[in-house]
Amino acid sequence: MKHDERPPAVRRPPFAQRASQGLRRLPRPDELPGPFRRSFWRSPIRGPWLTSILGLILLAGLSVVFVTGLLSYAAYNPDLNRINDQTPGKGLLGFYLFSWPTHPVWLYRLNQGVHVTLGLVLIPILLAKLWSVLPKLFEWPPLRSPAHALERLSLLLLVGGVGFEFVTGILNIQQWYKFPGSFYVLHFYGAWVFVAALVVHTGLKSRTVIGTLRARGLMAMLRVDTAHTEPEPPDGSDLVSPAPAGPTISRRGALAFAGAGSLLMLAVTVGQSLGGPLRRTALLAPHGQDLGAGPNDFQINQTAAQVGIRAEETGPGWRLTLDRAGPGGPAPVRLSRAQLLAMEQHTAHLPIACVEGWSTGNQAWTGVRLRDLARLAGISQPASVLVDSLEKGGAFRHGVLSAGQIMDPDSLLALRVNGADLSLDHGYPARVIVPANPGVHNTKWVATLTFAS
Amino acid sequence: MRRQLRWYGASPLHLLSLLACFGLAGYAADRLVPSHPLGVAAWFLGAVIGHDLLLMPLYSLADRSAMAAIRHRDPQLPVTPWINYVRVPAALSGLLLLVWFPLILRLRSPYHASTTLSADPYVWHWLAVTGALFLLSAVAFAVRLRGKPPAASPPERPATAPAGAVPEAETDPGHPGDADSGRGQPPAVPEEPELEDRELEEREPGHRAGELPPAEADPRQDPPSGYSPGPPQPAAEDPDAPGPVLPQPAGPKHDARPADPTTPDTQ
């Protein structure tokens, strides 16, 4: 790194001169205890090459995780209605939002599966990368110039940001909600803090990475076995140990080590997103267990008991209310479940996909098309519909669907699934199912549909 | 473009990039922090401290302890072939625990209430995967030991190493800053007793050929000791500099080695 080099003594900037006069009173690095002494760090494989390779893998992987994360936010259609927006203060950070499509029907399933699974798979690479640069944390002198100070501050955002994003994501998919506040708020804004630091870090390090790979090559270094593994020549980066121990693992061995961690993480996780017989291979993923073989035995993420749905609310007395937004117009239409079943029924084969990354294969949902219900409410060209559930609380007791989502022929108010009535935990008496929609917006236990024109 | 600002210590582009970074991060943080400022700051810093000052020192210590323990039990056992067969399954098992501890430890959460699934199997799944990893590792090690050629034949690298691959990058003759300069010339008695056998092996490669499988007696496979981050030993006491029989020279010890790096070992 050019900017990491200490300026030549003959023309040092005034700051550096003053700083070095001040620093003369500080101990020199070799007088310091422990990790501040360069010779404390002894791995012969630490150096710009290994860090560059790990950095490039992370850059590619985290870019995908970031983009799928942004798409995941767009999938909630937050601009359609404030109800849909978990981060209404987003301001400029929502610059990219667009109306979420309904096709391909597996779009959200793929997006979330990639976001969560790839994030998990990158953990070993991230840990290896952090290990490879740890001596940098103990640089001495800790601040050499304003440039150095600012860059170290950006590294705090980078490392803190990546840790914050990974920890909140990992805990959220296990529903261990110990983080300080709404997951959506923390994970969305935290991602922008991290990405701001990642972009500048990528820019500042690009010369080092390109220069290192040009100088040492990729395959040439990968061919070196443990016995022949030697430190890289010192480059002033603080990464190469001045007192290397003998190698216990080669660089390719270290990369294979991290790669094995990634493969293992993939193996114990990806089944929860693939579904079918592979679900049981997800030995440690939250939705890696089969529920059975019955028509309603697919994954659930919110039970009726959990949200306080009482039996009498879903019994014969249940009515669906079809309303239209705004004053005036005809009185609301109220329909019993029998009346809904008497209407024209359609079957759509659609997955359930959760923001947490798990999903099911396609289920055969049967019910009334949302656009037919809009017409029944007196609106043939709906702009949106507010779906209200019997749920008493929670951010997703209601949601708003877009015109495109209402008009899709596969968008249903489902009454049955896989040939049977919906089970209570899957939303009996009726639930919304819309292609490519996030699971929480496929509202269960629907009470009211309010269409707007 | 690379012209430096005297008062700043880097180029104007460097300054502008960082200011843009802080602008964007500040904009996001301004929206993130207000709800729980202390909590968010604590989690952000906690992520740094938790990894860099807690997790990483702990696993480094575990790694070094494992190597020391192996050496202590049987000083003739070379660490290198052993350690990775312990290190890899242990680290992978630890990784799974690190990520899935809320499920594995059955911490209180709405998991069962919302999914109808039980968290009970996870601890057993984790233990089973851990067991399988160590078993696989043991099998791989056994296969490697058995697959070794008899002592007379030249040492062979594992299948992953192309025969005769000579790392050109490593033939760099000068390590100008190498603090270990000259220490490859062995003192008669190494300073650290625990390293004695290893040092001897390196200097007299045939030394224990009758007692050890050839793979272990191969000094190229048997680099001395240590793994980063080492104990706070001053460089000048470091007995770990590669010995003179290593085929690939490290820095100034170069001249003590065979000139041709492809020269077969004395074995």
Count CB-CB contacts under 10 A for residue B85: 18
Q: Are residues A226 and A351 in the same domain?
A: no
Residues B78 and B129 in one domain: yes
pLDDT at A21: 56
B1 part of contact set with chain A, CB < 8 Å:
no
Domain boundary among A248, A267, A286: A267
**Is A149 part of any domain?**
yes
**Shared domain check, A240 and A322:** no
Chain B residues within 8 A of A195 when measuring between CB atoms: 24
Clarify whether residues B84 and B30 are in a common domain. Answer: no
A292 within domain boundaries: no
**Does the residue B208 lie in any domain?**
no
User: In DSSP terms, which residues pair with A366 in a beta bridge?
Assistant: A347, A416
Residue A49 lies in a domain: yes
| pLDDT tens, position by position, A285-298 | 999 999 988 999 99
Asked if residue A304 is part of any domain, the answer here is no
Taking contacts as CB-CB distances below 8 angstroms, the residues of chain B near A291 are: 116-117
Q: Which of B89, B111, B146 delimits the end of a domain?
A: B146
Q: What is the pLDDT of residues A135-144, one digit of tens each?
A: 999 988 889 8
- Residue B261, in any domain of the structure: no
B2, B49: one domain: no
CA distance A299 to A357: 12
Among B146, B180, B195, the domain boundary falls at: B146
Flag whether A336 is in a domain: yes
Res B260 pLDDT > 50: no
H, E, C per residue of B143-156: HHHHCCCCCCCCCC
- pLDDT exceeds 80 at position B116: yes
Residue at A294 is within a domain = no
pLDDT at residue A410 greater than cutoff 50: yes
Same domain, A254 and A326: no
Summarised one tens digit per residue, pLDDT across range A39-63 is 889 999 999 999 999 999 999 999 9
Same domain, A50 and A175: yes
The pLDDT, as a whole number, for residue B148 is: 65
Q: What mean pLDDT value characterizes chain B? A: 65
**B17 lies in the same domain as B90:** no
Q: What is the CATH number of the domain that holds A421?
A: 3.90.420.10
Q: Mapping DSSP to helix (H, G, I), strand (E, B) and coil, where does residue A279 land?
A: helix
Residue A46 lies in a domain: yes
Whether residues A188 and A134 share a domain: the answer is yes
Residues A129 and A251 in one domain: yes
B96 contact residues in A (CB cutoff 8 A): 264-265, 268, 284
Q: How far is A289 from chain B (nearest CA, A)?
A: 7
Q: Are residues A132 and A213 in the same domain?
A: yes
Residue B219 within a domain: no
In a domain, A281, yes or no: no
Asked, for residue B249, whether it belongs to a domain, the answer is no
Same domain, A44 and A171: yes
Which residues constitute the domain of residue B118?
45-146
Size of the A and B interface in Cβ pairs below 8 Å:
355
Residues A119 and A230 in one domain: yes
* Residue B88 resides in a domain: yes
**Nearest-Cα residue of chain A relative to residue B122:** A284
B167, A180: Cβ pair inside 8 Å?
A: no
Best A228, A301, A426 member to test B by mutation, with max B CBs in 10 Å, is A228
Per residue in A17-33, pLDDT (tens digit) is: 555 555 556 777 777 87
Residues B57 and B110 in one domain: yes
Closest to B246 in 3D by CA, of B232, B228, B264: B264
Does B77 fall in a domain? yes
Same domain, A61 and A153: yes
Cβ burial A315-349 (10 Å sphere, 16+ → b, else e): eeebbbebbbbeeeeeebbebebeebbebeebbbe
Same domain, residue pair A156 and A229:
yes
Domain extent at residue A17 = 2-267
CA distances (Å), B142 to each of A195, B69, B83, B137, B147, in order? 46, 20, 14, 9, 8
Look at chain A and report how many structural domains it folds into: 2
Q: How many domains does chain B have?
A: 2
The reported pLDDT for the residue numbered B248 is 38
| CB contact residues (below 8 A), chain B span 73-132, against chain A | 79-80, 83-84, 87-88, 91-92, 95-96, 99-100, 102-104, 107, 109-111, 113-118, 121-122, 125-126, 128-129
Q: What is the DSSP letter of A307?
A: T
Residue burial B10-39, b: 16+ Cβ < 10 Å; e: rest:
bbeebbebbeebbebbebbbebbbeebeee
Task: Give the bridge partners for A432, in sequence order.
Answer: A413
> Which tens digit of pLDDT belongs to each residue from A361-392?
999 999 999 999 999 999 989 999 999 999 98
Q: How confident is the model at residue B227 (pLDDT cuts 50, 70, 90)?
A: very low
